Chains A and B, each alone.
Chain A
Amino acid sequence: MAKITVLAATGNLMVAEALRQAEPDVVSAYPITPQTTIVEAYSKYVADGRVHTEYINVESEHSSMSAAIGASAAGARVATATSSQGLALMWEELHIAAGMRLPIVMANANRALSAPINIHGDHSDVMGARDTGWIIFIAETAQEAYDNTIISFRIAEHADVQLPVMTTLDGFITTHAMERCELLDDATVKAFVGQRTPINPLINGDKPVNHGMFASLGGAYFKVKHAERDANDASLPYIKEIGDEWAAVCERPFDFIDAYECEDADFIVVVLGSATGNVRTVARELRAAGIKVGVLRIRLYRPFPYAQVREALKNAKAIAIMDRADSFGSQYGPLGLDVRTALYDLPARIPTRNYIYGLGGADVKLAAIRQVFDELQELAAGSLDEGLNYLGTR
């Protein structure tokens, strides 16, 4: 039986504790608000001898991901953490980590991107990484950030997955708010995550190998990218299997999506991360008033669980898609594009409205959520148009 400690903890502390329990061989990291307290806590675990990790202080995020790539190719269990401009600075390495099929676990404190400069929570940074080939989780709570981080090691290092995993939580709202959390005992977590068994590690005198070789015109490069696409798509059942296994240990549910009252809902709001509870709170009020509403949260953002999303939304009369990031030049925000893609394969056409909300940490007030649900009723009735809307800017 797992021993559980109930504590008041921030999301960052819970991520740091998950990392401590998984005990990577190498952590290379550079501090950036609001990720800093993760690496601050981890470096203290190293200094206090609580973990046997080679902690590499680097001069930038470009270097932290480069060091993580080298260490993972060598065969080590590797973790790092970043946020915002730091994630942006890693851009080229993110593709390299995934293209080389390297298990690396990275926490990201989801934060706005400059300009203008802003240190607060939104999804602009993580959405910029959505096409890099990383598996991406977006946590609703500090507790879930802990759970996602623990399963990330098993997923990344699974022999049939071998992909980097990003375990993300919303900047300040989740990283810095203190909540009631449950920490499982070290032995239970260590037994669950186990040890990494590297495939073709660089450090192996008996079987010398090269990694990240030149793959010239067409042929080899093309095939590797095809294999990378397949690996992403094929990872879903493994993610489910590992998530379910952890769910049985921690006694908290796991799924790619978290559907609240969607089955018979006429009006559904699709949302990511820490704003979900606000939407659910309003949904409860409306359900109590007899209005059939639902909330669909997507916990696993990449690979995007199209089939599950489609299934959860298929009976709705109108759908709102809440994006905490924009995709400039595109007709919709990132989640808007994904959800509408999922809906395309349904026989009936369900009208949608895409809302850009909470950029730069803007407070997500319940009144704004009530407005979204009200507008869904108008949308279904045909008295309001589809399209993209900024929520609460003017």
Chain B
Amino acid sequence: MQDMTEIRWHARAGQGAVTASKLLAETALLKGSYIQAMPEYGPERTGAPLRAYTRISSAPIEVHNNITNPSIVVVLDETLLSFVNVLEGLDENGTVIINTKLDVDEARAILKAPPGVKVAVVDASGISIDALKRDLPNTPTVSALAAVTGTVTVDALKDNLLKTFGHKFSPEVVAANLASVDRAVSEVKIG
């Protein structure tokens, strides 16, 4: 049987969810996995709610459709929680990772998370604003995902960031991104 992890991303356009879905996939590819990462494109206007998907597998991935039963859900914008059922189809032992200042118990209460579901919180926007002076929560959130799920290792993620950002951005920006990875890994709380 194919060993496949399916991840669904909830965000608003402009927060970097599509980039995050691809960053995670690329990192897994570098470690020899088969991958798929795709956005669900709607009207492309900043702030519109969107979904994106990542599949990571030990074998070639044949299916080409949306992920309806993910084992991991990532929420980059907590304001979505009031009108999007982010838990829809989530595995009963799955994990939700939310960019929020809330603590784990508060987040669980808002989500009405079933007992088997693990909820992880990280203030990715706060970390990004400190590190990059901009609210780009995707890199810290992917880092938190790596730390709590082990889907990819934090070291692999940093290697990939260094590789892809290394020739695009200044050394200061790369260093700030790497620092935001470390902070997210140390600050993420799960329960």
Q: Which of B34, B41, B63, B66 has a CB less than 8 Å from the CB of A180?
A: B34
Q: A118-149: which residues lie under 8 A (CB-CB) from chain B?
A: 119-120
Decide: A278 near B38, CB < 8 A? Known: A6-B29, A178-B25. no
Report which residue of B36, B61, B63 has the largest number of chain A beta carbons within 10 angstroms of its beta carbon.
B63
B63 touches A172 (CB 8 A): no
**B22-37 interface code vs A (CB 8 A; 1 in, 0 out):** 1001100100011111
In the assembly, what is the distance between CA of A365 and CA of B65, in Å? 7
Q: Is B64 an interface residue (CB 8 A)?
A: yes
B64 touches A8 (CB 8 A): no
In the assembly, what is the distance between CA of A84 and CA of B39, in Å? 20
Decide: A278 near B65, CB < 8 A? Known: A8-B35, A178-B35, A179-B35. yes
Q: A140-187: which residues lie under 8 A (CB-CB) from chain B?
A: 170, 172-174, 176-180
Decide: A364 near B65, CB < 8 A? Known: A172-B41, A176-B38, A180-B34. yes
**Which chain A residues border B35 with CB–CB below 8 Å?**
8, 178-180
A281 touches B63 (CB 8 A): yes
Interface size of B as a range: 20 to 34
In the assembly, what is the distance between CA of A8 and CA of B22, in Å? 8
Secondary structure at the A interface, as helix, strand, loop or mixed, is: mixed
**Which chain A residues border B22 with CB–CB below 8 Å?**
8, 178
Interface size of A as a range: 20 to 34
In the assembly, what is the distance between CA of A365 and CA of B89, in Å? 14
In the assembly, what is the distance between CA of A280 and CA of B61, in Å? 11
**B133-149 interface code vs A (CB 8 A; 1 in, 0 out):** 00000000000000000
**Which chain B residues border A387 with CB–CB below 8 Å?**
none
Q: Is B88 an interface residue (CB 8 A)?
A: no
In the assembly, what is the distance between CA of A6 and CA of B30, in Å? 9
**Which chain A residues border B36 with CB–CB below 8 Å?**
177-179
In the assembly, what is the distance between CA of A363 and CA of B42, in Å? 13
**Which chain A residues border B41 with CB–CB below 8 Å?**
119-120, 172, 176
Q: B1-54: which residues lie under 8 A (CB-CB) from chain A?
A: 22, 25-26, 29, 33-39, 41
**Which chain A residues border B62 with CB–CB below 8 Å?**
276-278, 280-281
In the assembly, what is the distance between CA of A365 and CA of B66, in Å? 8
Q: Is B68 an interface residue (CB 8 A)?
A: yes
**Which chain A residues border B25 with CB–CB below 8 Å?**
8, 178
Report which residue of A173, A177, A364, A365 has the largest number of chain B beta carbons within 10 angstroms of its beta carbon.
A177
**B173-187 interface code vs A (CB 8 A; 1 in, 0 out):** 000000000000000
Report which residue of B26, B33, B38, B39 has the largest number of chain A beta carbons within 10 angstroms of its beta carbon.
B38
B64 touches A178 (CB 8 A): no
Closest chain B residue to A119, Cβ basis: B41
Q: What's the nearest-Cβ distance from chain A to residue B142, in Å?
A: 15
Decide: A274 near B64, CB < 8 A? Known: A172-B38, A178-B38. yes
Q: Is A203 an interface residue (CB 8 A)?
A: no
Q: A335-377: which residues lie under 8 A (CB-CB) from chain B?
A: 363-366
Closest chain B residue to A284, Cβ basis: B62
Closest chain A residue to B57, Cβ basis: A180
Q: What's the nearest-Cβ distance from chain B to residue A181, in Å?
A: 10
Closest chain B residue to A275, Cβ basis: B64
In the assembly, what is the distance between CA of A176 and CA of B42, in Å? 13
B39 touches A173 (CB 8 A): no
In the assembly, what is the distance between CA of A179 and CA of B26, in Å? 9
A-B pairs, 7 with minimum CB distance: A277-B62, A177-B38, A178-B37, A8-B26, A274-B64, A8-B29, A363-B66
Pairs across A and B, CB under 8 Å, 21 listed: A6-B29, A8-B35, A172-B38, A173-B38, A176-B38, A176-B39, A178-B25, A178-B26, A178-B36, A178-B38, A179-B35, A180-B29, A180-B33, A274-B64, A277-B64, A278-B62, A278-B63, A278-B64, A281-B63, A363-B65, A364-B65
